[in-house]
Every structure is written in C-alpha cells, then in structure tokens.
Chains A and B, each alone.
Chain A
Amino acid sequence: MLSKAISRNTGPGRPADMPERRREARAAYFFLLPALIVLSLFAFSPLVFIFVVAFFDWNLFRADLHWVEAANFVELAGDERFLTALRNTTVYVLGVVPAQTLLALLLALAVSWNIPARGFFRAAFYIPAITSSVVTSIIFLWIYSKPGLLNYVLFRFGIEGPDWIGSPKYALGAIMAVNVWSTSGYFMVAFLAGLRNIPASLYEAARIDGAGPWARFQYVTVPGLKPTLFFVVTLGIIGTFQVFDQIYMMSAGGPVNATTTLSYFVYNSAFRYFRFGYAAAAVVLFAIILFVTRVQRRIIRPEAP
C-alpha cells in the first residue's frame, strides 16, 4: 500500500503531500458530481418535497398557496374516485404481474428448445416491448373497437363481442391484456439470460441420477431461475404500479372511472384540475397505505417476507 502510494506520487501534477486515499476520494466525488447534481434535483429532492406539498392547497396558476394541515388527506379518504383508483391499481398489479411472468417464462422455455427459427420467435416476442406505448395503445384501440379486429375474429367463431374499451365491465381487463402482451417479451429475454446462467453440468448430473424432463425442470431449472424470478416480479410490480400511457391513450380513465389508476388520478388532479397539493397527498397517502399493509402482514404472519 505504502510503496504504491509513493510510486504514484512521483507522477506529474500530483501534490505529493496529499495521501493517496484522499486523492482517490476526491477523484471519486469529481466523477460522481454530474450524476449527483441531476439526481438530487430530479430524484432525491422531489421525494422530500412531495411531503411538504401534500400539506398545502397549492395551485401554480393562481398565485395563492395555503397551509391546509391534513385537509387534503381528509378529502382523499372520502373521494370516491381515489378509492376506485386504489382498487383498480390493485387489480391491475395483481392481474398483470402473474400473467406476464408466467407467459414470459413459458415463452422463454419454448424458445430455448432446439427448434427452427428461434431467432425469429425471440425477435417477434420482443418487438412490442421496444415499441412506444402510444403506438401500441393506438393499435389496440382500433383492435378493441366495436367493429374492430378482435370482434371480427370472434364473429368468425360465432361470438358477438362488446365495445371493449367502452364498457365499464371489460375496459380494465382489456387494457391489462395489452400490458401483458407488450411487456412479456422483455421479461422473456430476462428469463432466457437466467436459463443460460444455469450450468449445463447440473442438468447432466440430474440426468445421470435418473431424473426425467419434469424432475429436471422442477429441481434444476426452477431453483436456478429464482434470482431472475425475483428481478422479473420486482420490475413487474413497479412497472404496473406506474401504468399511465395506456390508460391516458385508450380510455382516459373511463368509462365511469373503471380504468382510473393511481397514476392517472395523480396526473388528473395535478395537470387537469391544477391541484398540486391534492395530487401530492394522494401519492403520500398511497405510500402510507402500502407501508401499513406491509407492517400489518409482518405482525399477523411474522414469517412472511
């Protein structure tokens, strides 16, 4: 360590009296500076500031600003649209995450088989994931309309389909299906990478021990995919919590709030009704609800993660 420090101190432009440790730290902060400035402004301070905004009646376009204590929260608790948004978001996450995870896993397993045109299939499943959500929303808006492609296909099978996005009964499910369709290709690639990380020797050993295909899947593939599964489910939950684009483009939260999710509620409160304090309070209240349910689960079932 010492000899290294001495040898480095002989280079030009290096203050010889500064210890190597401190010079390294100074360089590190210099390297981190741009990232820290941007993230402080647009990631860290907003997270703090939102707790302040939540206690104000704050309208940017009328220069008035009142401290309203907990009035925003009290109003939220009685706001039918907020409660609907909470319910819809829960349905959305609990519906889409398992479906897209399972579909992604199945696609990955099928594509990793020794079949012709694997590259083609992999690309075909991945394309929706790299396409703008505005584009896929417009396409599915057309597919889902009353005389659209989906109902035409159903008609050929003798079924008369509804106006999918126009009906409070089907709208949310229809948008959830688009989400599953557009993201499972991305997670398929994650599973493919996970599958490749399982050493072939494990399969060989299992085969020698007389394990059939199903047993090999159960005892080698599934445990080997655990880290990937964690990654996929975590990203899936975060992604579905913030679903906005499809809702905005396809249904605008309707019909009768059937597709109003939390992110859409926040957007509407802030950028349509210009109630920034109210929107911030919705986010804070939601975070509190999430936290409380987690703590509750810990208390009721301490062994649960």
Chain B
Amino acid sequence: MMKISVVRRRVARSGILALLLVAAAVFTLPFLWSLSVSLQPPGDVFRWPMKLVPDPFTLENYRRLWTEIPFARWLLTSAGVALAVTSANLFFDALAGYAFAHLRFPGRNVLFTLLLATLMVPAHVTLVPKFMLLNALGLVNTYTALVAPAMVQVVGIFLMKQFFESIPRQMEEAAFIDGCNRFQVFWRVVLPTSKPALAALGIYTFQGNWNEFLWPLVVATTSDRFTLPVGLAMFRYEFRVEWTLLMAGAVLIALPTLIIFLVFQRLFIQGIATSGLKE
C-alpha cells in the first residue's frame, strides 16, 4: 500500500518536473536566442536551419551601438530619470504612507479611497490631459516632463502604509518624549527601521521607470531626450530593420533589470506580496 503511493508520487513529481522544464524553455529561450542574434555578424538572421550558438561570433553589433547611434546618450537619460524618479518616490511615498498609517486627520478615509480609485484608471485615460498640461507649462521635451509626473505613485504610498502599520508605536512614543517633532521621529526613527520596505519600493520603482515607454514616447520629441526604450523604438522605425543591432540594444536594455532581479529576487517577491495581498 505504502509503496504504491510512493511510486505514484514519484511519477507525478517527474511528470511535473518535465512540464516545468518545457515551460522554462518557453520562458527563457526567446532571451537566449536574442542574445545569440546580437552576437551574429550583420546580415541574414533568418538562415535555416537556425542555430542557437552564433557561428561566426562577433561583438561588432555592440560596438556599433556606441558609435553609430546615440545609445550612450539614451542610456544616460534613462539612468538619470530612473534614479531621480526612484529617490523622489522613496521620500514622498514614505511620507504619505506614514501619514496614512500613523496619523489621524479629517478626510483620511476619503483621501485614501480617492488614491486607490486612481489605480483603476488605465494610463491612456490621463495621457492626453497630462500632455496638454505640460505643453501649457512649456515643459514638453524636458527632463522635468520625464520625471515630475512619476515622482509619486499610489502603489508606493500603499506599500509603505502597509509596512508602517506593522511597526510598533512604542519606539515613536519614546522619541516624542525625548523631544523630537513628528518629522524628526519619521526621519530618525521610522525610516531607519524601514529599510526592507524602502529597498523593495526602490527596486520596484526603478525597474518600472526604466521600462516605461508610453509617457517618454509622448513627451520626449527629440533624440537628445529619448530614454533607451524610446530610442530603440525610434531606431526600429526610422532605419531599415537591422536585427543584429536591434537585438544588441534589446539585450543591453534588459541587462540592468535582469541583474537587479537576480541579486534582489527576495525583495521583488516581498514587494508583490505586501502590495496586493494583505488587507
């Protein structure tokens, strides 16, 4: 009796393992293949039979990215914008999240419901009026336009609020008695204990902003303000499709988020777990 169930479980386990291997191939092979294309010499990338290992092998496409298109410029813009947006979110989202978690004030519930309601609004709904506002302010095609609308995000406020609610208040009480004001308590006592939540929010924000496409596509109108995804998209449309060069660009855009993910896997998963599921 015992033996049969053990055998059955083993069979089920290897069946699931086989299916998982197939699924993992479907999820990762497109990336490996694009890496392979990026290492091929420019020319026919559709030669059948297709081979995963590039032969002949070359780094020429990566060299051309830096010399023939303003890839370095786009990279700098992307990195600068993502870092600015991330630091703004870490500070402002934490401030607002703290107010919602630990302070009582009139209109608290109404305001919080309003914030949550904005999560239900798809991006293209506010796209047109947002652009018109920035145009009226004369800010189209500036770094301000790329950064300002993303400086605060409701998901971030929500994530920080959830975290702050789990912090015991005794520590704050002690700091109050020592004569700190509320901002000092927040800055010196609450924030230092919130490093895991801040790290999760920072990674989430950086990655989201690094990949952002629609907004920079709309407000960046000349090549010197493009972020990486917009630059690559424009490159695809304005030149004839050069697959090997395009793939090299794609690989370099994907690389930072991939590395951040592999290093901080835990925090990614923690971020999702706390932002959506515990309420």
Contact = CB atoms under 8 A, between A and B. Distances in A.
Interface in B256-277: 257-258, 261-262, 265, 268-269, 272-273, 276-277
A241 to B, nearest CB: 5
Interface of B: 13, 16-17, 19-20, 23-24, 26-28, 30-31, 33-34, 37, 45-46, 48-50, 91-93, 95-96, 98-99, 103-106, 108, 111, 114-115, 118-133, 135, 148-149, 151-152, 154, 157, 176-177, 179-183, 186, 207, 210-211, 213-214, 217-218, 228-229, 232-233, 236, 243, 246-247, 250, 253-254, 257-258, 261-262, 265, 268-269, 272-273, 276-278
18 contacts: A27-B99, A32-B95, A32-B99, A35-B95, A39-B118, A41-B133, A42-B148, A50-B129, A110-B23, A115-B13, A127-B27, A132-B213, A132-B257, A193-B272, A197-B277, A242-B122, A242-B124, A244-B214
Name the residue in A124, A138, A249 with the highest tally of chain B Cβ atoms < 10 Å from its Cβ. A138
A270 interface: yes
Contacts of B31: 127, 131, 139
Nearest to B120: A238
A42 B126 contact: yes
A305 B19 CA distance: 37
Contacts, number: 281
Contact of B124 (A125, A189, A263): A263
Given A124-B27, A149-B50, A135 B254 contact: yes
B128 A53 contact: yes
A194 interface: yes
* Top 8 closest pairs, chain A to chain B, by CB: A46-B129, A242-B122, A193-B273, A147-B46, A35-B96, A28-B105, A25-B105, A31-B99
Given A127-B261, A249-B233, A34 B95 contact: yes
A47 B98 contact: no
A193 B92 contact: no
Name the residue in B20, B26, B207, B247 with the highest tally of chain A Cβ atoms < 10 Å from its Cβ. B20
A35 B152 contact: yes
A45 B129 contact: yes
Interface in A136-155: 136, 138-140, 142-143, 145, 147-149, 152, 155
A38 B20 contact: no
A185 B265 CA distance: 13
A267 interface: yes
A124 B115 CA distance: 34
